[in-house]
Amino acid sequence: MNGHLLWFVFASLVPFLLFIPPIMRFSSALLSALAASISLSDAKKPKASNEPAAPALNFLYTLYAVCGNPIYRTEGPRGLRTAIPIVGGNFTGPRLNGKVLDLGADWGVTDVQTGIFSADTRYNLQTNDGANIFLQTSGPQQPDGKLHLRVQFETGDKRYYWLNNVLGGCCLTDDVVLGD
């Protein structure tokens, strides 16, 4: 049984500050199959009074990931680790479009005492113009069941080098299909 995940990516160029819109939802059914992505946008200029500007989030893309069946589940010192392969998908947005490569997984951990899941994904994107982008996401499940992730991008492609300086975050939605 394959899981299909849909998530939306937002980010801010304001260093060390990130706000995740509360309208994003995460279904507890998604806790075992996870992936995410994000981007930065232009930040507002600081006010003349030297107060920092409020962070500004801009939509980067929507990503649809296909996840395979868990490869393994094992108890370790941090909890129950589950490896879930990320085997494909696509992403579309105003600045980035392309496919999710069959090269990655979520190595998430569930705390056996609290049941709180923490995602730990690493996967690769390939843009429609051939650039390869590595992503790493992490973040714990919130008390309300939502999952907010920190996202890091890495690429050597000059056209997308700006992603290396992005502070990003994302939320999963409850749009999941299980089955073929």
Beta strands in the chain (DSSP E): 3-12, 58-67, 72-76, 79-92, 98-110, 117-127, 132-140, 148-154, 167-172, 177-178
The domain in which residue 159 lies consists of 3-178
- CB 1 within 8 Å of CB 165: no
CATH number at residue 148: 2.40.160.20
164: helix, strand or coil: helix
Cα–Cα dist 98/100, whole Å:
7
Query: Tokens standing for 84?
Result: 């879930």
**Parallel, antiparallel, or unpaired: how do β-strands 98-110 and 72-76 relate?**
unpaired
Q: Give the pLDDT confidence of 125-140 residue by residue, as tens digits.
A: 999 999 999 999 999 8
Q: Please tell me the pTM assigned to this model.
A: 0.71
- CB 139 within 8 Å of CB 118: yes
State how many domains the chain has: 1
Band the pLDDT of 144: cuts 50, 70, 90: confident
- CB 151 within 8 Å of CB 165: no
Q: Give the pLDDT confidence of 166-176 residue by residue, as tens digits.
A: 888 888 765 55
Query: Tokens standing for 37?
Result: 């992505």
pLDDT at 74: 94
